[in-house]
Amino acid sequence: MSKITVWFIKSALVYFMLAVILGLHMAVSGTTYPYMPIHAHFNLLGWMTMMIYGVGYHILPRFSGKPLYSDKLAEWQFWLANIGLVGMALGWIVRSWQGDSRMLLIFSIVEAASAVIFVINMFKTIKAAPPVPAK
Ligand code: HEM
Ligand code: HEM
């Protein structure tokens, strides 16, 4: 596995554990803000999306028979995805304490930028397999 795949899978596992802990907390003490959106996004952007990023970086170039378009973009994408998600979680906490959404907005844009970079890198990597020659 490439280092980017390992980094994404390890991050996904960590977010999953944090999300499960928050989920158990909510199951016991109720769904007070900001736990609900943090739980949802640690699961959906952290666990699920980052697992898909990691597995995608491994298998999609292989399916295409082509190397990944850019390893550098993939590294940038990894850091933006993590900084964005942790920042979003802190942004939800700040919003629940002070009613100020600016931090959430800024890190949401960082997270969205990371998603766009992944899409661009994959669009440039994937290509249809050549048709199987007739016998
Ligand atoms: C041990 C694992 C988990 C526990 C204990 C748990 C617990 C909870 C609890 C207590 C709520 C609040 C529900 C309510 O009262 O309205 C909740 C909401 C939610 N959970 Fe989990 N959860 C777990 C795993 C997951 C996973 C794996 C995902 C997604 C992949 C997920 C996605 C969500 C989402 C999206 C919400 C918000 C639903 C809404 O907007 O109404 N959870 N979870
Ligand atoms: C850049 C990516 C994303 C951003 C910036 C974002 C942002 C948000 C925000 C601001 C909310 C409102 C939460 C609140 O304050 O109550 C929300 C809710 C929600 N989002 Fe996302 N989201 C993103 C990606 C996703 C993805 C990929 C999924 C599903 C796969 C998802 C599923 C949900 C769900 C289920 C809720 C309702 C959660 C709740 O009940 O608290 N989001 N999102």
**Beta-carbon neighbour count of residue 46 at 10 Å?**
27
Query: If you average pLDDT over residues 95-106, what whole number do you get?
Result: 96
Output the CA 97–ligand 1 centroid distance in Å: 22
pLDDT of residue 32: 82
Q: Is 92 within 8 Å of 104 (Cβ atoms)?
A: yes
Q: Which residue's C-alpha comes closest to atom 37 of ligand 2?
A: 37
What is the number of H-type helices and E-type strands within the chain?
Answer: 5, 0
Determine whether the shortest distance from the Cβ of 23 to ligand 2 is under 6 A: no
Output the CA 42–ligand 2 centroid distance in Å: 10
Determine whether the shortest distance from the Cβ of 44 to ligand 2 is under 6 A: yes
Residue 13 in this model has a pLDDT that exceeds 80:
yes
pLDDT of residue 8: 98
Place of tokens 């999609």: 60
Residue 128 in this model has a pLDDT that exceeds 80:
no
pLDDT in tens, 16-63: 999 999 999 999 998 888 999 999 999 999 999 999 999 999 999 999
Determine whether the shortest distance from the Cβ of 45 to ligand 2 is under 6 A: yes
Helix axes 71-98, 3-29, angle to 10 degrees: 20
pLDDT of residue 105: 98
Q: Which residue's C-alpha comes closest to atom 15 of ligand 1?
A: 31
Choose the weakest-confidence range: 24-28, 55-59, 65-69, 124-128. Answer: 124-128
Q: Which atom of ligand 2 is nearest to the CA of 104?
A: 10
Q: Report the distance separating Cα 94 and Cα 98, nearest Å.
A: 6
Query: If you average pLDDT over residues 3-19, what whole number do you get?
Result: 98
